[in-house]
Structure 1
Amino acid sequence: FTLVNHVSQDTCFILYLEEKATIPSEYSDLHLHSKGFLPEIEVQDFPIRGKAVYLRIKRRRWEDPSTGQTYSRDWSLVATGTRITAEFGAFLKELLR
């Protein structure tokens, strides 16, 4: 993901993230083109410095121009019983260093 914007309000931080324009490895044998984004989702994450944190995430949509079929990466952003996946948590940890 790429951090494209951030907003700091009195009670919360809002981070705007977009999936990078890298073709998913599971579809590397196809000739895909980025066709914009899926609808934005919002995930509430753990607080930082006493403020709520909201992640507004835009995931890419890919299209095979020869068939018109669309694809997207299989992101399990909100796992059962957790706020985010371990991989996404590692990304945020690196981002906030």
Structure 2
Amino acid sequence: MQDSFIDILKPLLPEIIIDYFQLTTYKKEGETLHLYIKEIYSIPKEYRGYKLTSNEFFEEITVQDFPIRGHHVYLHITRGRWVNSYTCKVVFKDWNLVADGTRVTQEFASFLKEINRFQTK
């Protein structure tokens, strides 16, 4: 069932969402569509040589996305994080690095940058 939703969402959502996140559930309430997406839990490339311990996920954040056929769309995003065993600092994917290697619109790259800024506070 997940695959059929992804096929439908591919032309509607930025490619980075399809490639690096998975749709966990969705909810339609009247004219509003809620998409719950969770980052695929893989160690960030820039930290593959480090000893990292899983630190589960950041708290879910909600972001309003572009409307789809007159429906308000909200992305409920959960991102992964790890703890560097040597520095005891939390690390997570740097979406600026990921965006450089993908076909993401500048607008969506800015959106992801804002998420990074929001979650590091």
Unaligned runs of 5+ in 1: 89-97
Is it true that 1:50 corresponds to 2:70 in the alignment?
yes
Residue 56 of structure 1 deviates from its aligned partner by 0.7
Hey, what does 2:23 align to over in structure 1? 3
Hey, what does 2:60 align to over in structure 1? 40
Is it true that 1:62 corresponds to 2:102 in the alignment?
no
- Among candidates 17, 21, 33, match of residue 13 of structure 1: 33
Identity across aligned pairs (percent)? Answer: 39
Q: Amino acid of the residue matched to residue 68 of structure 1?
A: C
Q: Secondary structure at the match of 2:95?
A: coil
C-alpha distance after superposition, 1:23-53 (max 9, x if no partner): 0001111122321111221111111121000
Q: CA RMSD in A?
A: 2.2
Residue 67 of structure 1 deviates from its aligned partner by 4.1
Residues 5 and 15 in structure 1, CA contact (< 8 A), matched pair in contact too: yes
Residue 58 of structure 1 deviates from its aligned partner by 0.6
Q: Distance in 1 between matches of 2:89 and 2:76?
A: 26
Q: Amino acid of the residue matched to residue 85 of structure 1?
A: A
Aligned residue pairs, count = 82
Q: Which structure has greater strand proportion?
A: 1
- Among candidates 12, 16, 27, match of residue 47 of structure 2: 27
Q: Amino acid of the residue matched to residue 14 of structure 1?
A: H
Unaligned runs of 5+ in 2: 1-20, 97-105, 113-121
